[in-house]
Amino acid sequence: MNNIVAKLNSRGVKIEDIAVITHDLQKSYNNATYEECEQMVMEILAKRETIYTILTAIALDESAEKGLFDEEVNQLITTDNSLYGLDEILALSIVNLSGSIALTNFGYLDKSKPGIIGKLDREGKQKIKCHTFLDDIICALAASAASRIAHKKGIQ
């Protein structure tokens, strides 16, 4: 658990970056506090499926960054072409644990790219780093936490 938080930190993502997006998604629907959102993000990060997905996503990003795959695959991943699509699919591993509100919020964040999601996207586009898989994982984490908050707190 501390392990997976450290892994996210090593790629430039703090827990607060995720919890802030969850809080923004929820605040017009109920009175969930920022702290409750952060707590929910931590609960999702404690799940085995989440941990495996994050490790796999970062392994793909880092290996493409280092050019370890075949040229064609390195290219596909580092370019982050919107026709590639496997990054969104991998993130479903997290989304498909939290129901349909997670799914629609995931799609919304993937298009609107608030906060850290946009930052990762820009670093990737500028070839500073490869975050092709990680930005979608952050969308999935924030969206899943929002879905669970919605079911826990209700919608007003």
Binding site for its own copies (CB under 8 A): 29, 48-49, 52-53, 55-56, 59-60, 63, 68-70, 72-73, 76-77, 81-86, 88-90, 92-93, 95-101, 103-108, 110-112, 150-151, 154-155
Contact between 142 and 109 (Cβ < 8 Å): yes
Contact between 37 and 135 (Cβ < 8 Å): no
Smallest separation, CB 35 to its own copies (Å): 22
- 60 Cβ neighbours under 8 A, 6+ residues apart: 77, 90, 132, 133
Q: Residue 142 has which token pair?
A: 């924030």
Give the separation between CA 8 and CA 123, rounded to whole angstroms: 15
Smallest separation, CB 152 to its own copies (Å): 10
Give the separation between CA 124 and CA 137, rounded to whole angstroms: 14
Give the separation between CA 9 and CA 101, rounded to whole angstroms: 27
Smallest separation, CB 151 to its own copies (Å): 6
Smallest separation, CB 2 to its own copies (Å): 14
Nearer to its own copies among residue 31 and residue 81 (C-beta): 81
Nearest to 58 by CA among 133, 149, 146: 133
Nearer to its own copies among residue 41 and residue 90 (C-beta): 90
Nearer to its own copies among residue 101 and residue 138 (C-beta): 101
Smallest separation, CB 155 to its own copies (Å): 5
Nearer to its own copies among residue 126 and residue 156 (C-beta): 156
